[in-house]
Amino acid sequence: MNSKKQKPSGFSGRIHTFIMSPAGLPVLVGAIGVLVVALVVLIVFAVRAGAEPGSASTSWSEPASDASYDASAGKVNKEEFTGTILPETEDAGQEYLDETLFIGDSNTARYMYYGPDDDSDVHFTTIENTVGVVSAGVQNITSLKWEHFVGKGEMAIPGIVEIMQPKRIIIGFGTNNLTMATDTFIECYTEGLAAIHEAYPYADIIVSAIPPLDKERSNTNLSMTQVDRLNTAIVEMCEAEGYKYLDTSEALEDPETGWAKKDYTLTLDGVHLSKNGARALFQYIRTHAWITEDTRPKPLKEIPRINGVTPGLIDQDPIGVRGSGVPVEISAGEGGHVEGETSQSVKKGQQTSMITAVADEGWEFDHWSASLGFIDQQESIMFTVPQEADANGIFLTAHFRRVEQEPQPTLSPSPSPTPAPVCTCTTLCSAAVPNLTCPVCKADPTQCKGTPAATTPPAATTPPAATTPPAATTPPAATTPPAATTPPAPTPCPHTNKVVNKVDPTCGADGSETVTCADCGAQISSTVLPATGQHSYMNGVCTVCGAADPTPPASSNSDVQQAPPAETPPAADTVQAEGGAG
C-alpha cells in the first residue's frame, strides 16, 4: 500500500505552493485587509446615503388633473361675504393669541412648537390654549374624548371648551376631510360648532380656512380643487350660522398658482405647515382680529390641570401622508444658532443630516432637547428618527447658557486723612488766657490766628481841674466767657464707591441683588430677584433644581399628539393644547 501523501496539482497546487512560501502569508493577510476595508467603506456609504434629508421621498410626478386646475375658479368670493370674512385690523399682539383657544388637527398641534423667531423659546401657543390631534376631522368634534383633565377625566371638545372658558375660539378642520362629500362635511361641522356654542355660549367662534396644499405634495389624491370646494362651503356655513370666517388663504396661497407659497409647507409632505408657513399664518391672525366685549361670567372657574391628549385616539391616516417621512424641525434657544438644514423630512429609523449648535459670544452650548426620542449631547449630531414618530413630527432644540465671568477683586479704599484742626478764635488770645473752646489754642495758644485787639491812644492832657474828692470806684464788670463754638457737622458719605452682591435666581428659588457703600459700609439698596419658574427637564428631572417633571412620559402611540415640554410648569390645574392636520 502506497502511504505517500499526494501533492496538489494544477492551479490549486501553485496557490498552495505560493502560500506556503516565505512571501505568501504576508501577501494573503494584506489582500484580506483590503477586502475588509472595502466592505466597511461600502457599508458607511450606504448608511450615509440613507441619512440624507429627503431620503424618505421618491421622485414626484405631476398628476394630469393638476394641469387643468384654475387658480381663479372656485375660490371664496370675498365681496359676497364681507360681513362674515374678518377684515384687516391693527396688530392685536401676543395677548390676542394667549386669550384664544385653538382647536383642530395636527396642523393645530404643531402651533405649540413654532414661534415668531429662532432666538426665542416663546411659541405661538401652549398646552393651555391648544387642542389638536393627528388625523382629526369634523366628525370627531363630539364623538371622541380628546383630552384628560385631572379630576375630570377624558372630555370631548364641547366639554373641554366649557372647562377652559376661552374668550374666543379659532377652530380649523378639513385637511383630513378633503375626500368627504361636501354635504356630509358641513353637516358634521355645523353640529360640532352648535355643540360647542351650547356648552359655552360666551366664547366667540372663528372658523379658519383649510390651508392650501403644496403642488409637490406626497399624496397626489389630494388637490386644491377639494380645498377650494370645502372652503367655499365653510364660509357659506359661517354666514348662515353667525360665525366669523378667517380667510388664511390670503396669507398662505400663491395668488398666481393657487397652491401654497414656496416653503410654506413641509418638504416632501406638502400638507403640514412649515415654520415659515406658521409664522405667516399667525401674523395674519394677529392682523385680522375679532375683539368683542368679554361677557364670560366672572370670576372664571379654576381650570383643572391637563394631562394631555388621550392615547390611541385615532389610529388611521385619512390622507395617507404619514409613511412618506417624518418632519424634523430644528431650532435654537437664546444664546446661539444652528448650522445645517433646520427643516428636514426623514424616514423612521433613519438619521437627519448633520446639524451643529453654535454658541454666540459670551454663551456656551448646554444641551439638546427632543420632543420625541433619544438625542446625543454633542454640539454636532445626526438625529435618528424613532419608530413611534407620527405626522406631528419631531422638534429638536439646541440650548445654551451664559459663560460666567470671573469676579473682579474689590479694592479696599484708602483711609481718608484726618483734617488738621482750624483755629476758631476771632480775637488773638494769649498764653496766659487761652481760648479753651478753640481746638488749636487749647493745645498751643501760640498758634492762635485771632486778630489782635485795637490799642486806644492816650487822651490829650488838660490842666487839672479843681480837686474834688474822688468818686467811688466802680468795680469792673465780670467778664463773660465766649460762647462755646459748635464744631462743624461731619460731611455725609456720598457713597461714591459701590459694591454689588448678586445671587442669581433659579427655577425654584428667589435671588437677590444688594448694593453697599465700599467707603462707609452702609446698605444702599436690596432687591429680590423672583425665581424664574422655568425648569429644564431631562430624563424626567430638572437639570437645575432636581425637581421631577410633572408631565407624564410621552405616549408611545404613533398617532397621538403629545404636549411639548412645558416652558414653565403649569399651575396646579391649568389649560390644554390643540392638534394638527395629520
Is there a single domain that holds both residue 191 and residue 275?
A: yes
Please give the sequence-ordered ranges of beta strands (E in DSSP) within 333-481, or none if there are none: 336-339, 343-346, 355-359, 363-370, 380-381, 394-402
Is there a single domain that holds both residue 209 and residue 267?
A: yes
Residue 543, domain member (yes or no): no
Q: Please give the single-letter amino acid code of residue 265.
A: T
Q: Write out the DSSP string of 525-543.
A: EEEEE-------EETTEET
Residue 346, domain member (yes or no): yes
Least Cα distance to 277 among 267, 287, 291, 290 occurs for 267
Q: Write out the DSSP string of 218-283.
A: S-TT--HHHHHHHHHHHHHHHHHHT-EEE-THHHHB-TTTSSBPTTSB-TTT-SSB-HHHHHHHHH
Q: Residue 351 in contact with residue 330, Cβ under 8 Å?
A: no
Residue 423, domain member (yes or no): no
- Grouping H, G, I as helix, E, B as strand and the rest as coil, residue 44 is helix
Say how far apart CA 139 and CA 570 lie, in whole Å: 31
Tell me which of 370, 404, 438 is where a domain ends. 404
Residue 49: what pLDDT?
Answer: 43
Dihedrals φ, ψ of 337, to 5°? -150, 175
249 grid coordinates: 388663504
Is there a single domain that holds both residue 336 and residue 308?
A: no
Residue 443, domain member (yes or no): no
Say how far apart CA 365 and CA 481 lie, in whole Å: 80
Residue 230, domain member (yes or no): yes
526 grid coordinates: 436690596
Is there a single domain that holds both residue 128 and residue 269?
A: yes
Residue 524, domain member (yes or no): yes
Q: Please give the single-letter amino acid code of residue 489.
A: A
Dihedrals φ, ψ of 66, to 5°? -65, -30
Say how far apart CA 299 and CA 179 lie, in whole Å: 44
Could you tell me which residues come within 8 angstroms of residue 156 by beta carbon, excluding any fewer than 6 positions away? 141, 142, 143, 144, 145, 146
Q: Which long-range contacts (CB under 8 A, 24 or more apart) does 483-488 make?
A: 484/437, 485/424, 485/437, 485/438, 487/439
Exposure string (b/e) for 264-274, b if CB count within 10 Å is 16 or more? bbbbbbbbbbb
Is there a single domain that holds both residue 120 and residue 173?
A: yes
Is there a single domain that holds both residue 238 and residue 99?
A: yes
Least Cα distance to 343 among 423, 402, 447, 262 occurs for 262
Is there a single domain that holds both residue 161 and residue 273?
A: yes
480 grid coordinates: 463773660
Cα-Cα-Cα-Cα torsion 290, 293, 298, 302, nearest 10 degrees, comes to 0
Residue 317: what pLDDT?
Answer: 67
Residue 579: what pLDDT?
Answer: 41
Say how far apart CA 102 and CA 169 lie, in whole Å: 6
Is there a single domain that holds both residue 267 and residue 122?
A: yes
CATH code where residue 149 lies: 3.40.50.1110
What predicted TM-score, i.e. pTM, was given to this entire model?
0.57
Say how far apart CA 492 and CA 124 lie, in whole Å: 54
Say how far apart CA 234 and CA 108 lie, in whole Å: 18
Question: Looking at the 3D structure of the chain, how many domains does it have?
Answer: 3
Q: Is the preceding peptide bond at 419 cis, omega within 30 degrees of 0? A: no
If phi over 0 gives left and psi between -120 and 50 gives alpha, with beta otherwise, what is residue 258? left
Tell me which of 377, 404, 431 is where a domain ends. 404
Element at 195 (helix H, strand E) = helix 182-199
Is there a single domain that holds both residue 310 and residue 329?
A: no
- Grouping H, G, I as helix, E, B as strand and the rest as coil, residue 110 is helix
pLDDT in tens, the chain (582 residues): 444 445 455 656 666 666 666 666 666 667 777 676 667 556 544 444 444 444 444 466 788 888 889 988 889 999 999 999 999 999 999 999 999 999 999 899 889 888 888 766 788 999 899 999 888 999 999 999 988 899 999 999 999 999 999 999 999 999 999 999 999 999 999 999 999 999 999 999 999 999 999 998 888 889 999 999 999 999 999 999 999 999 999 999 999 999 999 999 987 678 899 989 999 999 999 999 999 999 999 999 999 998 878 766 777 766 665 555 788 888 887 888 899 988 787 888 899 999 999 999 999 999 998 878 888 889 999 999 988 777 667 888 888 999 987 666 666 666 666 777 888 787 777 766 777 778 877 778 777 877 776 655 555 555 555 555 555 555 555 555 555 556 666 678 888 888 788 888 888 778 888 888 877 878 888 888 888 777 777 887 787 777 787 776 654 444 444 445 544 444 444 444 344 445
Tell me which of 360, 381, 404 is where a domain ends. 404
Q: Between vectors from CA 100 to CA 95 and to CA 102, what angle results, nearest 5°?
A: 135
Is there a single domain that holds both residue 262 and residue 302?
A: yes
- Grouping H, G, I as helix, E, B as strand and the rest as coil, residue 576 is strand
Q: Residue 577 in contact with residue 125, Cβ under 8 Å?
A: yes
Is there a single domain that holds both residue 352 and residue 264?
A: no
Say how far apart CA 142 and CA 155 lie, in whole Å: 9
CATH code where residue 389 lies: 3.10.20
| Structural domain containing residue 207 | 76-317+560-578
Look-up of cell digits 407659497? 261
Q: Residue 407 in contact with residue 368, Cβ under 8 Å?
A: no
Residue 333, domain member (yes or no): yes
Say how far apart CA 369 and CA 357 lie, in whole Å: 12
Residue 493: what pLDDT?
Answer: 82
| CA 41 to centroid of chain Cα atoms | 42
Q: Between vectors from CA 327 to CA 559 and to CA 355, what angle results, nearest 5°?
A: 135
Burial class (CB in 10 A: 0-12, 13-18, 19+), 238: buried
Is there a single domain that holds both residue 285 and residue 233?
A: yes
Residue 387, domain member (yes or no): yes
Say how far apart CA 483 and CA 493 lie, in whole Å: 30
Please give the sequence-ordered ranges of beta strands (E in DSSP) within 485-554, or none if there are none: 498-503, 511-517, 523-529, 537-538, 541-542
Residue 530: what pLDDT?
Answer: 84
